[in-house]
Structure 1
Amino acid sequence: MEMDPDDFEDLVNDVFDALPAEVTDGLENVAIAIEDLPEDGSLDLLGLYHGVDLTERDQYGFGEMPDLISLYRLPLLDFCADEVDLREQVRVTLVHEIGHYYGIDDEELHRLGWG
Structure 2
Amino acid sequence: MDHAALGALKAPDLDAFEAIAAAAYERLPEDFRALCKGLVIRVEDFPTDEVLQEMGAETDFDLLGLFQGTGMPFQSVQHSGAMPNMIWLYRRPILDYWAEHDETLGDVVTHVLVHEIGHHFGLSDADMEAIEKRAE
Report the structure, 1 or 2, having the larger helix content: 2
Is the Cα–Cα contact under 8 Å of residues 49 and 69 in structure 1 kept in the other structure? Answer: yes
Listed as ranges, the gaps of 5+ residues in structure 1 are none
TM-score, structure 1 length as denominator? 0.76
* Structure 1 SS opposite 2:88: strand
User: Which residue identity is paired with 1:3?
Assistant: P
Is the Cα–Cα contact under 8 Å of residues 38 and 45 in structure 1 kept in the other structure? Answer: yes
1:63 aligned partner: 81
**4+ residue runs over 4 A deviation:** none
Following superposition, the deviation at residue 100 of structure 1 comes to 3.6
TM-score, structure 2 length as denominator? 0.66
* 1:63-103: CA deviation from partner (whole Å, max 9, x where unpaired): 22112111111100111038x521101001111112144x2
Number of matched residues? 110
Counterparts in 2 of 1:32 and 1:43: CA distance versus 1, 3 Å: same
1:96 aligned partner: 115
Larger-Rg structure: 2
2:90 aligned partner: 72
Q: For the residues of structure 1 that align with 2:81 and 2:75, how far apart are their CA atoms?
A: 14
| Alignment match of 2:47 (pick from 28, 38, 47) | 38
| Alignment match of 1:86 (pick from 96, 102, 105) | 105
Q: For the residues of structure 1 that align with 2:78 and 2:114, how far apart are their CA atoms?
A: 22
Counterparts in 2 of 1:13 and 1:55: CA distance versus 1, 3 Å: closer
* 1:41-69: CA deviation from partner (whole Å, max 9, x where unpaired): 61111110112344544435532211211
Following superposition, the deviation at residue 112 of structure 1 comes to 3.5
1:49 aligned partner: 67
* 1:4-35: CA deviation from partner (whole Å, max 9, x where unpaired): 22221111111111111121123223211111
Following superposition, the deviation at residue 2 of structure 1 comes to 2.0
Listed as ranges, the gaps of 5+ residues in structure 2 are 1-9, 50-58, 130-136
